[in-house]
Amino acid sequence: MSWSEFISMGGYGGYVWSAYGFAIFVLVINVIIPMRRRGVVLKALRQFIVSQTVQEK
Partner 1 sequence: MIYKKYASPKNFYPLAGRLIPWLGVLTVLLLAVGLYWGLFVAPTDYQQGESYRIIFLHVPSAWMSMFVYVIMAAAGALGLTWKTKLAEVLASACAPIGASFTLVTLVTGSIWGKPMWGTWWVWDARLTSELILLFLYIGFMALEASIEEPRRAARAAAVLALVGVVNIPIIHFSVEWWNTLHQPASVSKLGAPSIHPSMLVPLLMMFIGFKLYFATVVLMRMRYAILEREKHTRWVAEVVGTKAQ
Count of residues that bind partner 1 according to CB under 8 A:
29
Residue ranges of E strands in 1-57 = none
Binding of partner 1 at residue 49 (CB under 8 A)?
yes
Alpha-carbon distance of 49 to 56, in angstroms, equals: 11
Among 3, 4, 42, 55, binds partner 1 (CB under 8 A): 42
Question: By CB under 8 A, is residue 35 in contact with partner 1?
Answer: yes
- Could you tell me if residue 2 is left (phi over 0), alpha (psi between -120 and 50 degrees) or otherwise beta? beta
Residue of 2, 4, 10, 54 interacting with partner 1 (CB under 8 A): 10
